[in-house]
Amino acid sequence: MQDSVGAFLVQRLTVQYFANLREERGVSDETRETQARTPVQLYEEIANEYHLTVALSALRVAVNDEFSTMDAVLKDGDVVAFIPPVAGG
Amino acid sequence: MFCITSFPIEELPVAKPECAAGATVVFEGTVRDQNEGRTVESLEYEALESLATKEGQRILDESLQRFPILGATCVHRVGHLSVGEVAIRVVVTAPHRREAFDACQWVVDEVKSRVPIWKKEHYADGSSGWIGAKGLTVDG
């Protein structure tokens, strides 16, 4: 989303982490003010800030409790869950 | 019905099958004391519970489309589990055993690959590791 002068707006997003990613980040969830527009931008921002070693290519993403894609457009208030490789059973 | 619980699954009763069922297959996955040559003392499971429940239910619904069965349920444990405890129970009822076995196997495979649940193994030497996380870091 851009405003009338073309500047990117800041959105507030909730981010959830699990398993090895949660341990690397050090929290299970957080609220961020960010200019990231997609999960891939958001993850790159966070990985860069906290020196995360989990590769983006290893992750899936869920937005508001549904599986989504890394290039989905995020809206203010969205809950974004980064999902490392699952291992139930 | 698919559900996530922190309650010991072994203490939950298996529901009585429908009258049309000639076969009930119950699969229980239990915590093993070895993995890839290492001695395991306990496991820790965590889930993205809301999405896990939805995706798990989708798998059960799909199983009813794919196989001539009467019912399928699954319960998955979260939290800290000792060796021998039940981590997952899948129950499939069908008129005949072959379909019940096939569907049960399919449900377990799908749950393992699709449902957002993770497990961490705690080893006898004091170390621990998340299963499936190896080799997926930026550093390789």
Higher pLDDT: A8 or B49? It is B49
What DSSP assignment string belongs to A40-65? HHHHHHHHHHHT--B-GGG-EEEETT
Q: What percent of chain A has pLDDT over 70?
A: 91
Q: Give the pLDDT confidence score for residue B129 in this predicted structure.
A: 92
Q: Which of B50, B55, B87 sits opposite A89 (nearest CB)?
A: B87
Instruction: Give per-residue pLDDT as tens, A11-26.
Output: 999 999 999 999 999 9
pLDDT of residue B84: 95
> Which domains, ranges and CATH numbers included, belong to chain A?
11-83 (3.10.20.30)
Smallest CA–CA separation between A67 and chain B, in Å? 8
Q: Which phi and psi (to 5°) does residue B77 adopt?
A: -85, 150
Q: Does position A39 have pLDDT exceeding 80, yes or no?
A: yes
How much is the pLDDT for B134?
Answer: 67
Chain B nearest-CA residue for A51:
B138
CB within 8 Å: B88 and A81: no
- CB B136, CB B118: distance < 8 Å: no
What does the alpha-carbon distance between residue B80 and residue B122 come to, in Å, rounded to a whole number? Answer: 10
B54 contacts on A by Cβ (under 8 Å): 65-66
User: What is the per-residue pLDDT for A18?
Assistant: 97
Query: How far is the C-alpha of A32 from the C-alpha of B39, rounded, in Å?
Result: 41
Question: Mean pLDDT in runs of 10 for chain B (140 residues)?
Answer: 96 89 96 91 96 98 98 98 97 97 98 96 94 64
Interface of A with B in 3-62 (CB under 8 A): 16, 18-20, 23, 53-55, 57-58, 62
Asked if the B2-11+20-124 domain carries CATH number 3.90.1170.40, the reply is yes
pLDDT given for residue B107 in this prediction: 98
ipTM: 0.88
pLDDT of residue B133: 73
Return the amino acid letter for A39. P
Tell me what pLDDT residue A4 has: 55
Using CB atoms, pick whichever of A16, A81, A87 lies closest to residue B118. A87
pLDDT at residue B140, rounded to an integer: 39
CB contact burial B26-51 (16+ within 10 A = b; e otherwise): ebebebeeeeeeeebebbbbbbbebb
CA distance B59 to B70: 15
